[in-house]
Structure 1
Amino acid sequence: MNEEKKSGKIFDLPTLRRLYTFVRPYQKQFYILVTIILISATLSPLSPLLIRYTIDNEIAAGDYNGLAIMLLWMILVLFLQAIFQFINTYLAGWLGQNIIRDIRVQLYEKILNLRLKFFDNTPIGRLVTRTVSDVETLSDVFSDGMAAVAGDILQLILIIGVMFYTDWRLSLISLATVPFMLISTYIFKEKIKDSFNEVRTAVSNLNSFVQEHITGMNIVQIFSAEKIEYQKFKQINGVHRDAHIRSIWYYSVYYPVADVIAAAATGLIVWYGARQVIQYDVTFGTITAFIIFINLFFRPIRMLADRFNTLQMGIVSTDRILKLLDSDDYTVNNGTYVSEHLKGDVSFKNVWFAYNDDKYVLKDISFEVKSGETIAFVGATGAGKSSVINLLSRFYDINKGEILVDGVEIHNYELGALRKQIGVVLQDVFLFSDTIHNNITLGDTSISRARIIEAAQLVGAHEFIEKLPGGYDYNVMERGATLSVGQRQLISFVRALVHDPKIIVLDEATSSVDTETEELIQNAILKLMKGRTAMVIAHRLSTIQKADQIVVLDKGEIQEKGTHEQLLSHEGFYANLYRMQYKEVAN
């Protein structure tokens, strides 16, 4: 069954038990809330009883002093109910917001530590839904769910008890319409549950469509597909509208029906009670009290349908959140080795790797690169070049073989310590909606502005950054949209260098820049690679001719290894690739 359409059980004890673990830090406030709800429920039958006593005793006897005293008592009860209602509403909201804050922090911490394979198989929109919408639903569970349901049920029990204690005959007459109310409430609960599921699915589809098409707006406009996409959006939005209208229709039917049933109960009381008053079997105050009792009784029944749906949605959201929190699809960080003076020797020994099952993208890969050397990887798209880099940084774990850094297997390294020693510049540069300074440091306050400027000058990025409004404090907007491809590439290069890694990885790092910018980067590489290990991936062979070693990959296997001159002399795969590129340039 589609995860977005599940409906959860109200009394799913294992899930409720797990949900309660989030309440533990706030047990004191939770128990105060429960106590307040119980007190409020206890106060609810007092007003009708006071009104009954006042009518039958003080008003009937014409005792104005007694009437004044009873009015004061009624005002006191109303005041206490208002105070407890305020505390109930505020404390329930406070509790819900604090709990969802804690859950969001836990969820985000979990997401930060999930391995990249998880993100390959999980839509981003689903993770956003878990972190935002599903967690928000839990706020309603605490503010308008469990505690409120308990209060409503207790209020019903107390009112029924007081009613039968007061007059059992009128109680039976009053409750004659309850079966009709329960049946209509149950039907409404089931219908509105299905309707909420439809709304939730429609919202998910709408969000996914909008997110995807805004991100790919350049493609939409390039191919003049605005009208087509507009019609698609209208259709999806229409489904969303229809789902909402259905839920509104159920509410518009249920509440009038509930009011008619409550009115019928009131009519029965008046019809039967009037006859008893005439015969002096029942007092006028008792009839008045029962009319108030009926309103107090049916109101929580009407609310229970909504509250049960809130609980159901909360259980579903909790189940989804717990599945994410319980996911073991994260990179195991059991290593403890931290090197104070990493040299940067890298060795792959008989490495096999598959993203999915046994469909290996790297097959028996072996090579070595010493500190200060440059190794380049070439090959067609899908040959496995980027996979080598992903494995070195432990974004993915190998299936077989060994990867050593300075003679130590990478699983023995503390993960953060290993990745700090590897500076990566990717082809697809991602910049956050923040300043250039923060995009370079990524929040590391130990990196000074002077150090950033020094790295930017070496790379050749300082000049264009200084020309921007605000310089290094310029906000690049989402994904660096206000910068050119080359500028984003240079900033990512500065970002890699300021952390002073011992291993530099360039994954197609110059494929998206112009010739002038490429020359800046190549000059910076020559200056900065001294004493560091460089691992370069490139389609343009002209950028790697000076590499100490070139590894030619094809379909996940090493075809050739050697220097540029050695590989050309072999007249093999590399030589053919080189001649093809030379002809393209010549033409």
Structure 2
Amino acid sequence: MTAKYTFIVALIALAVGVAAELAGPFIAKQMIDGHMLAIEKPYYQTNDPAGAARYNNELFKRGDRYADGETRGREIRILQAGTSFYFVDAPVAEPDGERRYQDGLLTITRGGETASYPAQPLSSDELYGFYKPELPGITQLIGWYFVFLFISIIAEFGKTYWLQSSANRVIQRLRLDLYAQIQRLPVYFFDNLPAGKVVSRVTNDTEAVKDLFVAVLSNFCSGIVTITGVYVALFLLDVRLGLICLFLVPVLILWIILYRKVATRYNTIIRSRLSEINAIINESIQGMSIIRIFRRQKKTLQEFEDLNDDYMKHQNKMLNLNALTSHNLVNVLRNLSFAVVLWYFGAGSITGSTAISLGVLYAFVDVLSRLFQPVTGMVNQLAALDTSIVSAGRVFELMDETGEPVTDGEMPRYNGNVEFKNVSFAYKKDLVLKDISFSAKQGQTVALVGHTGSGKSSIINLLFRFYDPQQGTITIDGKNVRELPKQWIRRHMGIVLQDPYLFTGTIASNVSLGDSRISREQVEKALRDVGAERLLSHLPQGFDEPVIEKGSTLSAGQRQLISFARALAFDPAILILDEATANIDTETEALIQSALEVLKKGRTTFIIAHRLSTIRSADQILVLHRGQIVEKGNHEQLMQQRGRYYQMYQLQQGSAASVEQTESADKELQVTAGAAGSGGKLSLPGNQA
């Protein structure tokens, strides 16, 4: 059963439960007016013992139990005065009024008029004789009461179960849709929204929306249905009662409107502060080593404390608002409604203008008291209602963001001929790439070099279609990338980052990324081909060693090797190496250089490099400066030009030479120092002993 139909069934169960519950006051009314107090209705002498009472060897039956056309004898009345009942062997014109028994006479005073009737006191047994015919009807009503009670219990269970199960399904679907939306959002969206805030919307805000269905919707739906049923019951009991109590409806509506007007302002800030708290916690955990190295614990703690204090301040404002507008106002409305009814009908009963039966009054009080149970429930959920609505707004704001369309299927593996034609691109206003044009043939290695901010990573972002250029075109195998689904393009691309990202799982799962098309044999072969077997063989579980929290238990070289194996296993047509060997030691780099040659074979490879010695064998080197290609060619051609690339290479080679000279000097110093320590002479370069 879908959530929609489950919700409909829950509402039906709710309506049935309310109707069964409201049947109680009507049963009580019938028991009081139709049986207990009905003993004061006129009785007539009869010869039929069915349903008749026996008194002084005579049979008497209540007037409303005679069949049409049935012969009636003389009329008698059973009336109560004080705590005793009296037998009046005569018709009584106006039984209502103040009653008093003295010297064998029952006196009834009403509105200044007095009437006296001869009467005889009834003993307990004689009085029971008149009540005995009522017992079957009372027993039947009690039976019906328990039947309706059982129905209301079953309906309440069904309502709670179905309503909450439908709510769980809605939230399950909402979270799934929200997570799918996050997967569709363009990469640049996350540049401006911290991860902690996104997590808060997926977890905290959706949980608040769940409260909307489980608690708020349950209370408001049951409350509205119950209030509707109560008013129907009140009008059935007495139209005047219903009209008098109608004033509660506009008061309740006005109350909800005014409450939400104030509460929404507080809740918006509260949910925002909660997101910011999640964001700062996430950021602090990710950067804990930096915080401790630079001794920023107190500063970070102060920032968190300021957010937490502001969150608590607005929570206290909500607490004050809820304390002022919860049970207190409900109690005022309850007391006011009872006071109005009692004043109106109490005064009317004295003048005789608005007299009602005791059963109606009892049923009214019972039904009216039931009116305030849902009102209290609705009022108590006003805070949750507003919180849920604010959270739902934040969730649907994220859902309304324009995402990238997800296209099923995939394209055949392309060759990897890439061409940039007059491409210009800006993240915001200022251009970071200006009129970029170059081509890369299948199997070629293209290196991108330049200072930080020159545009190297921007070219890769455009190639992956994380962004699209404002001007110019990018083609793969002659096809404009704008005309191809992004997922299809990326299916045949691979990347190895300077700081590779590993997911929680195992080493093997981080190579295959859970792709069913990559077998275990392919995973192990990829790891062996990049030389990972040598560095990972000492791990207790080998390739099944658990990976936790971005691979924090592995060295930088091990993480990089896993990243290389991942790229190899996916067999991309276009490979991007973003300073892939920057964090690898010399020995590990030597291990994977031959694997890199295998990895690049037959693929178009783009290398972002700062260490120019690693790209000497590149087919094409693009030198970027301030978003423009200022030099283009292979290593020998660029060295002959003696331009920017030549200066960068000589600068790096010079630095390397300085390091080598320093290391040689240190070794020489150690040798001579050792000789001096054994009795020899200390000799330093440029000094005389």
**How many percent of aligned residue pairs carry the same amino acid?**
36
2:364 corresponds to 1:295: no
Mean Cα displacement is larger for which, 263-272 or 160-169?
263-272
Structure-to-structure mapping, 1:242-253, within 5 angstroms: 242-253=313-324
2:332 corresponds to 1:355: no
Aligned-pair CA distance for 1:315: 4.6
- CA, structure 1 residues 99+277, in 2 after alignment: closer, same or farther (shift >3 Å)? same
Match of 1:116, SS? Answer: coil
Aligned-pair CA distance for 1:436: 1.3
2:304 maps to which of 233, 246, 264: 233
* Residue type at the aligned position of 1:296: R
Partner of 1:325: 399
Partner of 2:284: 213
Separation (CA, whole Å) in 2 of partners of 1:240 and 1:438: 41
Separation (CA, whole Å) in 2 of partners of 1:149 and 1:84: 17
Q: Deviations over 1:299-334 (max 9, x none)?
A: 222333455665555554444444433433426869
Aligned-pair CA distance for 1:364: 1.5
Partner of 2:163: 92
- CA, structure 1 residues 375+177, in 2 after alignment: closer, same or farther (shift >3 Å)? closer
Separation (CA, whole Å) in 1 of partners of 2:344 and 2:406: 74
CA contact (8 A) 1:96 1:138 kept: no
Partner of 1:544: 615
Q: Deviations over 1:506-546 (max 9, x none)?
A: 01111122222222232321233222222111111111111
1:196 maps to which of 267, 286, 293: 267
- CA, structure 1 residues 261+329, in 2 after alignment: closer, same or farther (shift >3 Å)? closer
CA contact (8 A) 1:202 1:243 kept: no
Aligned-pair CA distance for 1:47: 1.5
Larger-gyration structure (1/2): 2
Separation (CA, whole Å) in 1 of partners of 2:189 and 2:255: 45
Aligned-pair CA distance for 1:577: 0.8
2:458 corresponds to 1:387: yes
Separation (CA, whole Å) in 2 of partners of 1:184 and 1:142: 21
CA contact (8 A) 1:337 1:413 kept: no
Separation (CA, whole Å) in 1 of partners of 2:184 and 2:246: 57
Partner of 2:533: 462
CA contact (8 A) 2:449 2:624 kept: yes
CA contact (8 A) 1:350 1:400 kept: yes
CA contact (8 A) 1:269 1:287 kept: no
Match of 1:350, SS? Answer: strand
Partner of 2:206: 135
Mean Cα displacement is larger for which, 437-446 or 183-192?
183-192
Separation (CA, whole Å) in 2 of partners of 1:382 and 1:172: 76
Aligned-pair CA distance for 1:95: 1.1
Mean Cα displacement is larger for which, 553-562 or 484-493?
484-493
CA contact (8 A) 1:44 1:155 kept: no
CA contact (8 A) 2:456 2:624 kept: yes
Separation (CA, whole Å) in 2 of partners of 1:422 and 1:65: 86
Aligned-pair CA distance for 1:143: 3.4
CA contact (8 A) 2:507 2:543 kept: yes
Aligned-pair CA distance for 1:41: 3.4
Separation (CA, whole Å) in 2 of partners of 1:193 and 1:501: 51
Partner of 2:580: 509
Match of 1:45, SS? Answer: helix
Structure-to-structure mapping, 1:8-157, within 5 angstroms: 26-60=3-37, 61=39, 62=131, 63-145=134-216, 148-157=219-228
Structure-to-structure mapping, 1:149-188, within 5 angstroms: 149-168=220-239, 187-188=258-259
Partner of 2:495: 424
* Residue type at the aligned position of 1:338: M
* Residue type at the aligned position of 1:49: F
Separation (CA, whole Å) in 2 of partners of 1:285 and 1:450: 84
Separation (CA, whole Å) in 1 of partners of 2:157 and 2:306: 44
How large is the Cα RMSD of the aligned pairs?
A: 3.0
* Residue type at the aligned position of 2:18: A
Separation (CA, whole Å) in 1 of partners of 2:533 and 2:167: 48
Q: Deviations over 1:217-266 (max 9, x none)?
A: 11211111222322332332233333333333333332134224424544
CA contact (8 A) 1:202 1:240 kept: yes
- CA, structure 1 residues 277+286, in 2 after alignment: closer, same or farther (shift >3 Å)? farther
- CA, structure 1 residues 423+180, in 2 after alignment: closer, same or farther (shift >3 Å)? closer
- CA, structure 1 residues 399+275, in 2 after alignment: closer, same or farther (shift >3 Å)? closer
2:643 corresponds to 1:572: yes
- CA, structure 1 residues 261+512, in 2 after alignment: closer, same or farther (shift >3 Å)? same
Aligned-pair CA distance for 1:351: 1.8
2:429 corresponds to 1:378: no
Separation (CA, whole Å) in 2 of partners of 1:453 and 1:177: 74
- CA, structure 1 residues 380+223, in 2 after alignment: closer, same or farther (shift >3 Å)? same
Partner of 2:69: none
Tell me, which stretches of 5 or more residues in structure 1 are unaligned?
1-23
TM-score (norm 2): 0.74
**Per residue, is there more helix in 1 or in 2?**
1
Separation (CA, whole Å) in 1 of partners of 2:583 and 2:344: 87
**Per residue, is there more strand in 1 or in 2?**
2
- CA, structure 1 residues 574+125, in 2 after alignment: closer, same or farther (shift >3 Å)? same
- CA, structure 1 residues 34+256, in 2 after alignment: closer, same or farther (shift >3 Å)? same
Larger RCO (alpha carbons 8 Å, 6+ apart) = 1
- CA, structure 1 residues 275+326, in 2 after alignment: closer, same or farther (shift >3 Å)? closer
Partner of 2:591: 520
Separation (CA, whole Å) in 2 of partners of 1:267 and 1:47: 24
Separation (CA, whole Å) in 1 of partners of 2:248 and 2:177: 48
Separation (CA, whole Å) in 2 of partners of 1:279 and 1:86: 48
Mean Cα displacement is larger for which, 450-459 or 312-321?
312-321
Aligned-pair CA distance for 1:294: 2.2
* Residue type at the aligned position of 1:543: T
* Residue type at the aligned position of 2:651: M
* Residue type at the aligned position of 1:78: L
* Residue type at the aligned position of 1:366: S
1:399 maps to which of 470, 488, 508: 470
Partner of 2:412: 339
Separation (CA, whole Å) in 1 of partners of 2:402 and 2:556: 37
Match of 1:251, SS? Answer: helix
Separation (CA, whole Å) in 2 of partners of 1:323 and 1:260: 39
- CA, structure 1 residues 331+48, in 2 after alignment: closer, same or farther (shift >3 Å)? closer
Aligned-pair CA distance for 1:187: 4.9
CA contact (8 A) 1:347 1:369 kept: yes
Separation (CA, whole Å) in 1 of partners of 2:259 and 2:410: 61
CA contact (8 A) 1:33 1:91 kept: yes
Match of 2:515, SS? Answer: coil
CA contact (8 A) 2:578 2:607 kept: yes
- CA, structure 1 residues 140+177, in 2 after alignment: closer, same or farther (shift >3 Å)? closer
Separation (CA, whole Å) in 2 of partners of 1:277 and 1:468: 93
Match of 2:468, SS? Answer: coil
Match of 2:140, SS? Answer: helix
CA contact (8 A) 2:260 2:386 kept: no
Aligned-pair CA distance for 1:91: 0.9
